[in-house]
Structure 1
């Protein structure tokens, strides 16, 4: 396999509205069901303070007000388990969590292919529930990685094949976990590795720089007037190192919400440091293109198979 590759995909048939969701569901016969919902922390949630905030949005599948983060485990289809696992982080601008559309649907598709999938319901940055809101989501991502790695044998997972996958602002969180793993923001006296073995980023927010960031995501995470230090620290294109995990990126060139340059600058930094990276860019599809390109996971599955994270 080449160390990096970029593919410009020609636009296929476009799906819109209700047909977009129908196309996505028809393309992936999602018969996998969740096995269990696992609390991230027991008993106390770090970096939290008393609040009367209540979780809401279960009926719509778009959540907010999360104070008790969890992992929802989707077990691989019988006889197909590859040993790999992926922690799936839905997006939502750090203001909501698009739990069903980006999280559960994706986890089911991964499980059908033999990958243990865990949907992360993470705390959204909020001064109402956290002393330091900018690290809250990262704490939950690191704890998810620790929990899956610590329980790998019990769940039939290879602890060297644990990846992280994020959409939009969830892509920012996934790439943050993939570039900030050398510092533990959680209790980790066991010294469990917090480094994902690979990262999958779908129309991700990468940068917190004025010229590139998604303003709403930055405002929610860092506040409206972040310090230069914080903006640089959470601009993940500036945090790439030679030991950053291999990456798969996909985006639409006409994304009007999160500029495709977020993926491109991240790709370029990874490539220059010789980190294996593959990128697929659709010319059309805008933000959330997964609902208009029902076959969007096929190139991802090919990449995973080439890296032995999927079985033939």
Structure 2
């Protein structure tokens, strides 16, 4: 039954976006890359993507006449081992229905096989995604001052790195495009690099990182007054990524006077999106309200309540 559900979901996704082609992040050489060996090819198993060598944006454009100028780049989770797509696809469709242009970022996963420095590969792709969206904003009807990030689980760690470590020069940026997101939404993110989430940590920075590296990749330690406003969601019963991760980031935001809103759900465990919670899409409605309150979601979009 579960197999049939994922097959149906994949078919729906394919049919809905047959006309919206994936958009390559890089026109030329991919930074920090090694030639992939023979047999190293991208795989998609029931919405879980492995071995990404050609990062892309997967676009979800609003219905004609409904775009409100806001864009959200969505970073899938998967422990920096795989990219889990179904939750991101559900959220992206809901954002597009609200008038927001959504892009799922299919970023490279850390690998010594295809990268010279696996710890910076995902960050380079995330920054390149922002750069590309802002460079083509006019073409896609996007306001360059309304570009936000959403990250789920390990994707939340990646989005929070982009939002808090703006001084890192990880990609060429000759036209000096602004790479700071205007807002941030994190769902059950990895924030603290501690023994509670060893696999995610090891996949990105290895088994024996220095104390300095652990601190650098614990993104609550990099929050500053320049960090963009953030919307945070986590379930109290999360059995994969402890709630303390989001609480640490929230406390750091408060300490630096960054506007933030936190929602702790009683139940939900890990990996939820909209329709697989007892409360349905209630958190998404609160996210819409937060966007509207801050001027990123106008009444131009075709916003509707979700179940």
TM value normalised by structure 1: 0.87
Structure 2: runs of 5 or more not aligned? 10-14, 300-307
Q: Quick check: 181-190 or 253-262, which moved more? A: 181-190
Residue of structure 2 in register with 1:138 after alignment:
123
Map of 1:122 onto structure 2: 107
Aligned with 2:234: secondary structure?
A: strand
SS in 1 for 2:139: coil
**Number of aligned residue pairs:** 283
TM-fit CA distance, 1:309: 1.3
Matches within 5 A, 1:27-42: 33=17, 35-42=20-27
Counterparts of 2:294 and 2:33, CA distance in 1? 38
- Confirm or deny that 1:78 pairs with 2:64: yes
Match of 1:90 in 2: 76
**Alignment deviations for residues 241-272 of structure 1 (CA, whole Å, 9 cap, x no partner):** 00100000000011111000100010011011
- Say which SS state the counterpart of residue 153 (structure 1) adopts: helix
Q: Are 2:150 and 2:156, in contact at CA under 8 Å, matched by a contact in 1?
A: yes
- 2:221 matched to 1:238? yes
> Which has the larger displacement, 90-99 or 101-110?
101-110
Structure 2 length-normalised TM: 0.88
In the TM superposition, residue 216 of structure 1 has moved relative to its aligned partner by 1.2
1:171 has 2:147 as partner: no
Hey, what's the Cα distance between the residues in 1 that align with 2:145 and 2:43?
Answer: 35
Q: Is this contact kept in 1: 2:87–2:272, CA < 8 A?
A: no
Cα distance between partner residues in 2 of 1:129 and 1:155: 32
Other-structure match for 1:154? 139
Is 1:288 aligned to 2:275, yes or no? no
Q: How does 1:152-231 map to 2 (within 5 A)?
A: 152-210=137-195, 213-231=196-214
Equivalence for 1:4: none
Say yes or no: does 1:268 pair with 2:254: no
The answer to whether the Cα contact below 8 Å between 1:103 and 1:119 also exists between their aligned partners in 2 is yes
1:251 matched to 2:238: no
Residue pair 2:149, 2:184 contacting (<8 A) in 1 also: yes
**Contact conserved, 1:168 with 1:205, CA < 8 A, in 2?**
yes
Give the Cα separation in 2 of the matches to 1:185 and 1:245.
19
1:298 to 273, 282, 285: 285
Deviation at residue 32 of structure 1 after TM alignment: 6.2
Report the 3-state secondary structure (helix = DSSP H, G, I; strand = E; otherwise coil) of the residue aligned with 2:150: strand
Match of 1:55 in 2: 42
Coordinate RMSD, CA, aligned: 1.8
Q: Residues of 2 paired with 1:302 and 1:242: CA distance?
A: 23
